[in-house]
Amino acid sequence: MQIADADDVRQEVLLALSKSMPGFRYDPEKGRFRSYLKTIVMRAISRRMCQNPPGAGLTGVSESGNESEEHEEEVWEDEWRQYHFRRAMATIEVEFSEKDRSAFTMYAVGGRDAAGIARDLSMSVDAVYQSKSRILKRLSALIEAQVAEEG
């Protein structure tokens, strides 16, 4: 399931955030910032979906309100995971060599076999496994720290 024009939704979210943030005051007793942000994003998605009813530019949207809410929740969770992954990968870009990152991407993300990657990158098969292991371990630590920062 995917919104046909994600750029429009992102623009809607940014506009909603820019309007709501000046009056925002964080109070941990009222909830986490993530919950506040999620509310803003979900409302923006809902507004976009109302402007583009099923069959008018959105794909994977049902007329059932319950299924629509589930879809919105899926979109939110996917975007949240991608956000943390992108932030963590920015750190990985700095901390690991291009060869290690390439081996990781080809093996862990692309699903290629380690022997072929080792041959293509002029490294040992063990080095491919080690690159994957070290980067995955670091990614996990980075994402865990990001989530802990959210409160």
Query: What is the mean predicted confidence (pLDDT) over 8-13?
Result: 72
Q: Which residues contact 13 (CB under 8 A, 6 or more apart)?
A: 40, 41, 44, 45
Q: Where are the domains of the chain?
A: 1-81, 96-151
Say if residues 135 and 93 touch (Cβ distance below 8 Å). no
As a whole number of angstroms, the distance between CA 18 and CA 2 comes to 25
Say if residues 85 and 136 touch (Cβ distance below 8 Å). no
pLDDT, residue 2, reads: 47
Task: Say if residue 151's pLDDT is above 90.
Answer: no
In the chain, where does DSSP find H-type helix?
6-20, 33-51, 65-95, 98-104, 114-121, 125-150
Q: pTM for the complete prediction? A: 0.57
List, for residues 116-148, the tens digit of each pLDDT value.
999 999 999 999 999 999 999 999 999 999 888
Fold of 96-151: Arc Repressor Mutant, subunit A (1.10.10)
Of 18, 17, 83, 71, the C-alpha closest to 46 is: 71
Reported as type and span, the H/E element at residue 32 is: none
